[in-house]
Chains A and B, each alone.
Chain A
Amino acid sequence: MRRADIITSLAILLVSLYFIWDAVRMEYFIDGAPGPGFFPLWIAILMSVVALFILYGAVRDQSRAGKKPIFNKKFWRNTGIVIGGSVLAVLFIDTIGMLAAVGLLTGFLSWALGTKSYKTNLALAVFTPLAFWLIFEHALQVNLPKGLLGF
């Protein structure tokens, strides 16, 4: 956690310094009233101060050094399955349509998260998009993106 805190607080510090630089370029006061740069500037300054606090605390606190890393195998596995799978599904929306992409994602996630029954995974891949079609397209009148196959 200590190393992760140092890295993230440094990253937030850098980002907030960029925000300060960008906010300074906007008008701070216009005709005696706060301009578009007023609020962002103060928020970015406060962000950098708080990030510095966290950085200082993490550097000083040696007791947390060497403990179990947060970004372990489990973290990368979970992120790969859920975030990676979702990103892939989004990339396929244009080609196969949203409902098919979501169906494939549901079947894949169910399998990857531990459902061994192929019947269950297949049923999820087929019936989840069907339910979504009824809820979103039919009941809520949302036009979901169609793919090359027309659905």
Chain B
Amino acid sequence: METLQSLISGLSVASAPLNLLFCFIGVVAGVLIGALPGLGPSAGLAILLPITFGVNPTAGIILLAGIYYGAMYGGSITSILIGVPGDPASVMTVADGYPLAKAGRAGPALGMSAFASFIGGTVCVVALTFLAPALAKVALSFGPPEYFALMVLGLTAVSGLTEKSVVKAFLSTLIGLFISIIGLDLVTGLPRFTFGSIQLFDGVSFIVVALGLFGISEVLISMEQKQAPLIYDKEQLKWRNLFPTLKDWSVSKWHIVQSTVVGFFIGMLPGTGATVATFISYGIAKNTAPPARKKLFGKGAIEGVAAPECANNAAAVGAFVPLLTLGVPGSASTAVMMGALMMFGLRPGPLLFENNPDFVWGLIGSMYIGNVLLVFMVILCTPIFVRMLQTPAAVLNAVVMAFILVGAYSIHNSILDIGLTIFFGLLGYIMKKMDYPAAPLVLALVLGNLLETSLRQSLIISGGSVGIFFTKPIAGIIMACALVVVAWPIIKALRGWKKGVKSAS
């Protein structure tokens, strides 16, 4: 009952004209960002973050959330029309979406993608509504050791579950933690690694790092890729052609249900995120499909579009659960949002529900409204979105670069911030070329100060003994999970090495 009352109050906050406007802008920007190949949700969030500082925190986070789940849908547009995923979470959509477009069914594929995203997103917002306050109440009993363990798990999971080199991901995390140390020590006030610069006493702003690592490096990487021509049949995108047929619904309905559940739970786990959710849900959909439909997967099965698209929006909502209740983001995009919350002066975590109910419930309320807005806009505005995607990459990259530099300046009115953004842009480009993932670095930077504080508090409680992280039951279990995440790639590498030795001998 209390939850429903809070939700009603949240909906009234979200339906305030300014918040509605920001929700609309966020969803539109998100769809475009998701659709533009090369520009992912984390880059989009980082680039547009500076414009949220001039508004109140609720409107700001509503805009960012809109971008996040809007981008989850947007990625499907280019995946279906030209076979180029707009972001990693829509890679699986290409498998069946593009063959459907080639067979003249781009409209129903885009429509199914929108409706599946809507269903997955909305059902998961309902789950978030009831699960988040309950989890926040449990998290109120957590002390510094539990928080430290949770943050360690978050960081190790993001590094350990990376697709390429796990060792490089760990190094990326450590570099992020080190950057977070730069500035005045929170307890003693001693300057650490500031190299004599007073401007670095406040530390390196995470936005500067995110703008460089996600924004500038994306521009540089996209310059290496050829822009695929957007050729499509205009007739297919007329709004009446976007509705899937009854047969489409009948073959997709159960896949939508299971992908919603899978996406939500995977979204809640640290280090996995929407991309993993799409791969798993696509795999499950293919394996559970009847033999006659199974053969169509990869050749144009509409349920092959419904499952991943539903899962990525479900996962996007699921990712808010640990962010809002525990204050521990599980992915690059939620790390950017957590950084934004901290810039707004809010501390994500269980107390957020008690101290800032208008903010949290306003955000949850906006997700209901945003999902409805998203489906209407997709049905009515897809041809406009597609036309906007025809902007040449050169023009887009030039404007994005200019926006990044002005955005970097606007954080603290500092030219040094622009210089640092350019530096991190170059660093991000080199990191991408060398397979160092950027997400663990940004996540570590956002969590660094909190991690150090909870570590120091825990050691004060225990009198300097690290045993506190293993003897307290909840902290111990979480730390054990973190150790498994660290040990797993090492075991895998050792197995591979042993196999190599055997085959060589």
Contacts and interface: CB of A to CB of B under 8 A. Distances in A.
Interface of A: 1, 4-5, 8, 12, 19, 22, 26-27, 29-30, 32-36, 38-40, 43-44, 46-47, 50-51, 53-54, 57, 70-71, 74-75, 78-79, 81-83, 86-87, 89-90, 93, 98, 102-103, 105-110, 113-115, 120, 124, 128, 132, 135-136, 139-145
B292 interface: no
B397 A57 contact: no
Contacts of A51: 171
Nearest to A93: B415
30 contacts: A12-B175, A19-B193, A26-B190, A27-B188, A36-B188, A36-B192, A39-B455, A40-B193, A43-B178, A47-B171, A50-B171, A50-B174, A78-B429, A79-B429, A82-B220, A90-B405, A90-B422, A98-B406, A103-B402, A105-B401, A106-B399, A109-B402, A113-B223, A113-B393, A113-B398, A124-B398, A128-B399, A132-B402, A140-B53, A145-B409
Interface of B: 50-51, 53-54, 165, 167-168, 170-171, 174-175, 177-178, 181, 185, 187-188, 190, 192-193, 216, 219-220, 223-224, 392-395, 397-399, 401-403, 405-406, 409-410, 413, 415, 418-419, 422, 425-426, 429-430, 433-435, 452, 455-456, 459-460, 463-464
A89 to B, nearest CB: 7
A105 B167 contact: no
B187 A40 contact: no
Contacts of A140: 50-51, 53-54, 410
A54 B168 contact: yes
A9 to B, nearest CB: 8
Contact of A53 (B167, B224, B456, B463): B167
Contact of A114 (B394, B409, B430, B464): B394
Contacts, number: 170
A109 B399 CA distance: 9
A79 to B, nearest CB: 7
Nearest to B52: A140
A109 B394 CA distance: 7
A109 B398 contact: yes
A86 B398 CA distance: 11
A41 to B, nearest CB: 10
A34 to B, nearest CB: 5
A14 to B, nearest CB: 14
Contact of A105 (B223, B224, B402): B402
B168 to A, nearest CB: 7
A47 B188 CA distance: 24
Contacts of A113: 223, 393-394, 397-398
Contacts of B463: 32
Contacts of B395: 110, 115, 120, 124
B433 A75 contact: yes
A33 B459 contact: yes
Q: Which 6 A-B pairs have the closest CB atoms?
A: A140-B54, A113-B394, A109-B398, A36-B185, A110-B398, A142-B410
